Amino acid sequence: MASWTVRNMVYSMLLVTLIVLAWWSMTSSPSTQQQRAPELEQTTNYVVEQAQWPVWVPDPGEGWTPTVLWYDARVADVPTWHISYVSPKGEYVALHQAADVTPEWFEEALPDASATDAQVRLPGPVGEQTWQVWSGPSRGNAETAYVLGPDVTGGSTVAVHGTAGQEEFEVFLASVEAGD
């Protein structure tokens, strides 16, 4: 113990500190968190098996990034299929689909949006149809929304909404296929 000095202890602490700093500097610390893309194929196959109606599955192609998808009864206790994308222009586009929807379902799926008197012709898996236009708060998830009723879709209500312009909605809807 006589050979242990304060100076040796300081040298030892400096050496340990240098080793820790070297290790810390070599570890990766990305400045932005990377989000893993959702499992589209597995989830859509499951939804097609479970749903009692033809499920609309979009595949808009390159430049479109899928962000969220799920199928459960989180929207007004109605089993709902939801899939959303970020468009090539960085806009949000989502699809909600469910059967036997209620006014509460619309309130949750299209927050703060309401139906307008306008209608628009848009493509889809059942051909070009007349969609009801909804409008919501600027830059909200339902800034623009289009709703198609169960009489055209095979028993479900489809709401497509987001912040994109009509051209991007048309590209999105043109890529949709109905899975049975």
What share of the chain in percent tops pLDDT 70?
A: 93
Check residue 7 and give its pLDDT.
Answer: 85
The residues, ordered by sequence, that sit 6+ positions from 168 with a Cβ below 8 Å of its Cβ are 87, 88, 89, 91, 93
98-151 pLDDT per residue, tens? 999 999 999 999 999 999 999 999 999 989 999 999 999 998 899 999 999 999
Phi-psi region of 155 (alpha: psi -120 to 50; beta: other; left: phi over 0): left
- Pairwise CA distance, residues 40 & 179, whole Å: 13
The answer on pLDDT for 96 being more than 70 is yes
Phi-psi region of 90 (alpha: psi -120 to 50; beta: other; left: phi over 0): left
pLDDT band at 1 (very low <50, low <70, confident <90, very high): low
Which residue type occupies 116? T
**H, E, C per residue of 91-145:** CEEEEEEECCCCHHHHHHHCCCCEEEEEEEEECCCCCCEEEEEEECCCCCCCCEE
- Pairwise CA distance, residues 65 & 36, whole Å: 11
Mean pLDDT score across all residues of the chain: 91
Check residue 30 and give its pLDDT.
Answer: 66
25-38 pLDDT per residue, tens? 888 666 666 666 67
Residues in the chain: 180
Going through 5-109 in order, the beta strands assigned E by DSSP cover 55-57, 65-75, 78-86, 92-98
- Pairwise CA distance, residues 130 & 120, whole Å: 5
- Pairwise CA distance, residues 115 & 42, whole Å: 34
